[in-house]
Each structure stands twice: as structure tokens, then as C-alpha cells.
Amino acid sequence: MKKRTAGREVFIIALVVAVLCIALGINGVWRSFERFDNSILAEKDTQLYSLMRSGDINIENSINALQRETETFLGRERLKAEIAYWKESGETEGLKNYISSNTLVTNPIYADLVMSHKGKVVCTASGSNSYAPVTGSDANGMSLWKDGNNAYYMAWHQEAAGDITYDILIDLLRLYSLAIGNSNDREIMLLDAASVLAMTAGPDGPVIIETEAETGERLSNFRDFMMSCQKEGIADGISVDTTDDAGHPYTARMVALPSESTVNGEFAMGILANYEDAIAPSRKAAEEILLYGGLAVVGVAGLLLLLVMMRRANAASSAELRVLKKKNETMEEINQKMQALAHHQRLETIGTMTASIAHDFNNLLTPIMGYSIMTMEMLPADATDLQDNLLEIYDASVKAKDIVTRLADLTKKGNEENFKEIEVDDVIQSALKVTLPAKPKEVEVKANFNAEGEMIKADRTQISQLVMNIVLNAYDAMKEKGGTLLVSTRISGEEVVIRFKDNGCGMDTETMSRIFDPFYTTKESGKGTGLGLAIVAQIVETHGGKIYVDSEPGEGTEFRIYIPLAGADMESLAWGPGGEGKFDTKRYSVNLIRKELARIQAEKEEEESV
């Protein structure tokens, strides 16, 4: 019984909380709608002001265009000649004809041109003399005029020499049509700066309304609001209840700018728009958002419930999926290891083939070297050209044999049994010579070896392989733009420091963190194995050394290798783009050639005896 009572109390509390939440939500929604209406109203006023600014600029541009054309016409020599003739003869016929045919007639807002002398009208372009000013000229020389038919004009007053003045009349209705136009969703009214008349769009085109004339309620309210804003010199907006031409009530929004706030400076401007048409779509959209948002919340709640049920139903399936995923990862790992093993076997096969090919090349180069020397011995002393040619053949054979020998050395396996005391500078120079055929022409190699005579206990083949791998990578990094590879050795305590620095493309942090991983490469497929630097790291570790790398994209890369004893910075040129440098093949003297011939002959006799 107590449990039921407690459960009922919890239910009542939950119901009260739910009702309070609903009430607070409804109140919040109501207030949100009010704020939304206010924001829409402010946005609508901003749009209306922008529309007025557009019409304002159009008015200014239209008046300025007419003024520029008028100045051009009034400055013509023909007009000056006609005026001079009129003053001399007293005849106005020629002057009237010229003024009446002026080029201003092509301007859409031009109405007439009135020429006066000492305040008395001399002639007009239209021939009418019924014009009279209604207001005085303002600071811009503009005033309101009226003709005998009670038609209003805006007049621009211009002073000329000899007490002559010109008044260019502007057709206000055409100015309104050109600058403002007509729109079904808004009504724009212009009020002159003196509040004498207003212009607005009528059913058959723009109309002029005198400020004291009787009009309908809507236009009267609109005109009175604009006159109050013009009098107080403020921009303002109000909402009023009014009726349209058919007598249907609606809420109108009126926004006005005084003439002193407009660009044209001659007219106050106002817009009357249907506020309900502006707010209704936004309010409807907000209501739809509220409705569809509620549906979305219900849908999300149902989806959560469905997910909970599916989670329970799929618990066993998820466990089985994890087991299958783990098995798949294991199979993938095995597959990767199998591929790595197959790749390693292919590399071993290539190494074996390289050793065999190197042996065959040595067998071919030996007779070339021998016969070139023997032929040189048989030449007469004055056959210097032939001797030089044979010497070039011999030199090229020596270079080729040296490269082949070092390639063969790289195919040999290195282990601690092969560790011997070797001179570090010598093995590095020898390895660099092997890489020369792969050096791009735009790359130069500079070296400074400062560990001469210093010995390290190492496998010569492995140290050569270490140097070649790093140097070939540097060549590849500089092959597109060229650059310089700096190789140096120096002694640091009881270690030798071998330093390789290039100014190639460099590496980012992520690449540097993986360069010593086996089979990791940034080269295109088929252009790299990803084992070069991994082998370098293994060789350094085998020799009890340390390796460091510094690199930045676009700045190049530097490797520093520490093995018990080593190096310094480089200064002298080792190999340049043209192959020049201290390691070029030497020219052999006749004595050296004879010694080499004797050695080859001895080797040949030894092979024949075997």
C-alpha cells in the first residue's frame, strides 16, 4: 500500500513538473514570437530605407545628368553668337529658334528652358511665357515653378554674363517615373523641401498632390506623417491601421526621410508598405518551425527508443562481429608479413644476380685494360694521338672496374665476423665514387674529411651500403631543382661523426617519424622499396652507433651518424655538376702503365697454370 502511495506521489510530481514545463514553454514561445515580430519589423524598415536610398540616388543622378547637359549647351559658341546678335540688333527670332531646338529635349526629365535678361523673360524654348516661381531658390539653385495650367516644375537657376539668367525646368512627373517607377507592394511619396506639394504613384501614373488639397485617408495620413518628419528633420517609421483602395483594412508601415537626409537634397522621401504582407510569411515560417520541430522531437524520442531495443537485440551480433574483425586483422597482418617476406626474397635474388653480373663484367674489363696497355706499348713514340685515345679507353675501364668491384662488395652479407679496423674517410670516399653515375647533373657534392687516419671497427660493406643509401636519397630529393650535398667527417670525443646535409625538398614531421620503418616510402610505386633507411638504422645499431635526422619541408635534410670515432663541416668541392673534383680518375704515367701490364700478365700466367 505504501509503495502504491509513493508511486502515486511521484506520478503527481512528474505531472506537475510537466505542466509547468509546458506553461513555461508556451510563454517562452509567445515571447519569442514577439521578439521575432520586432526583429522582422526592424529588418523591414531597413529594407524600406534601402529602397528609398536607391530612388534617392536615381533622382540625384537624373538631375545631375540634366545639369551636365545644360552646362554643355549654355557654353556653346553658337548660343553666345545669337545672344550677341540679339543685343546688337534687338531681334530675338534667331535666338528663339536656336533655344527651341536645343539638345536638352532628348533628356527625359527636361520640360523647358527660360532665358531672362535683368529679371525679364526674353524667350523660352517652348514659347510659353506663363511660368511663375512658387518658391525662392535654395542653396543648390533649385526652386518650384508653376505655369498657367497649374502644372508644377522644378527649376534650376543659372547665372550668365551680361545680366542673363537661365532657368531649366524639370518635369516632376517624368522625374518620378524615371527615378521611382511603380510597384504593387509599396507606395513611395516625394515631398518637396518647402512642403508645397507631394508626388506619389496613382492608378494611371504618378500624380502631384498639393499639401493643402483634400485626399483619401491613407494618402492624407502618409503625407501628414512625411510633413511632420520634414518639419522636425528626423527619419522615423510608424505602423498605422488604414484601408486600401478597395476599402479592405490592413496595417501599414510608413517610413520617412527628411530632405536634409537624402542625397538629392530637394525631396523628402517616404515609403508606405503592407506590414502584414511582410510579417505573415515569416510568422507562418516560425509556426511551421515550431510544429515540425515538435514532430522532430517526437521522432527523435521514438528513434532513441528503437535504438535501445536494437542495441539489446544486436548485442550477440556485435560480439560475433568483433571476433570476425579480430580474425580479419590477424589474416591481414599475416598477409602483410608474407608480402614483406616475398619482397625480401626478391631483393636477395637481385643481390645474387648483381654479384654474378659484376663477376662477368670484371672478366670482360680485364682484357680491355690489358690489350689497351699492350697496344700502347707497340705504338711508336710519335703516335701521341693514338696513345691518348688508348689511354682514355684504359681510364674508362679502370673507372668501370672500380664501380663493378664496389657493387659486388655490396652484395656480400655483413656480420660481426667481417668487422675489421677500417679507415672511415677512405670507405666513405669509396662509397661516394660508386654513387657518381646516379648523381643528377644539377647536383654538386662537397666534402670535408677530417678523420684521416682514424680507424673504426666495422664491416666495410655495411658502412658503404649506409653511405650509398643516404646519398642516393639525397640525389633523389634534389633531382628536380638541383642543389648541393655536403658530406663531412669529424672527431667528437671518442666518436666519429659522419654528416650528410642536402638542400632538397625536405620532410615534414609525420614523414620523419616513419622514415626508419621497413617498407615505408614516399616514392611512387615501383620506384622505391622502403628498406634503404631501415637498413641504415640497423647498420648504425649493429655498430653501436647513433643516428639523428633534422628536416623541414623546402629546407633540406641532415643526417648525423655517430660511430666510435668521426668528422667535420665540408668546404672543398668533391664532385660538381660537370664531374669535376678531387676524385677524378688520374692520368697514368708510362711507368705506371708498365707496372699494370706486368701485373695483368702475371695474373694471366697464373690462371693458365691452374
Q: Which fold has domain 412-579?
A: Heat Shock Protein 90 (3.30.565)
Q: At what angle do helices 532-542 and 460-478 cross, to 10 degrees?
A: 140
Contacts of 232 (CB under 8 A, 6+ apart): 258
Query: What residue spans in the chain does CATH classification 3.30.565.10 cover?
Result: 412-579
User: Are the C-beta atoms of residues 164 and 117 closer than 8 Å to each other?
Assistant: yes
Report which of 528, 527, 443, 545 is spatially closest to residue 486, judged by C-alpha positions: 443
Q: Among candidates 131, 179, 128, 172, which has minimal Cα distance to 154? A: 172
Q: Spell out the alpha helix ranges (H) of 110-235.
A: 172-179, 217-232
The pLDDT of residue 570 is: 36
DSSP state of 443: E
| Contact criterion met (CB below 8 Å) for 446 and 484 | yes
- Spatial neighbors of 85 by CB under 8 A, at least 6 apart, are 91, 94, 95
Mean pLDDT of 293-302: 70
- Is pLDDT at 133 greater than 90 in this prediction? yes
d(CA 49, CA 95): 46
Stretch 35-43: mean pLDDT: 70
All three cell numbers of 63: 538631375
- Quote the percentage of the chain above a pLDDT of 90: 14
Give residue 566's pLDDT.
45
For the ranges 168-182, 312-326, 499-513, 587-601, the lowest mean pLDDT is seen at 587-601
Portions of the chain given CATH number 3.30.450:
75-173
At 456-497, the pLDDT tens digits run: 888 888 888 899 889 988 898 888 888 999 999 998 888 899
Identify the pLDDT of residue 587.
32
User: Hunting for cell 504618378 — which residue is that?
Assistant: 206
CA 43, CA 51: separation in Å to the nearest integer?
12
Mean pLDDT of 63-89: 90
Tens of pLDDT along 497-540?
A: 999 999 988 888 888 877 877 666 776 655 555 667 877 888 88
Residue 469 in contact with residue 516, Cβ under 8 Å? no
The model's pLDDT over 285-294, given as tens digits with 9 standing for 90+, comes to 666 666 776 6
**Strands of the sheet with 572-575, listed across from one edge:** 546-552, 556-563, 495-502, 483-492, 443-449, 572-575
pLDDT of residue 324: 81
- Residue, of 590 and 98, whose pLDDT is higher: 98
Question: Considering only CA atoms, which of 194, 90, 106 is closest in space to residue 142?
Answer: 194
What is the fold of 75-173? Beta-Lactamase (3.30.450)
Judge whether 560 and 497 are in contact, CB under 8 Å: yes
> Which of left, alpha, beta for 202 (phi over 0: left; psi -120 to 50: alpha)?
beta
Q: What is the DSSP string of 311-335?
A: HHHTHHHHHHHHHHHHHHHHHHHHH
DSSP class of residue 411 equals T
> What average pLDDT does this structure show over 546-557?
89
- Point out the least confidently predicted range of 91-100, 121-130, 286-295: 286-295
Pick 353 or 452 by higher pLDDT: 452
Q: How far apart are CA 485 and CA 500, in angstroms?
A: 7
Q: Which of 34, 48, 101, 55 is nearest to 238 (CA)?
A: 48
pLDDT category at 346 given cuts 50, 70, 90 is low
> Which of residues 574 and 554 earns the better pLDDT score?
554
When pLDDT is averaged across residues 156-169 and rounded to a whole number, the result is: 90
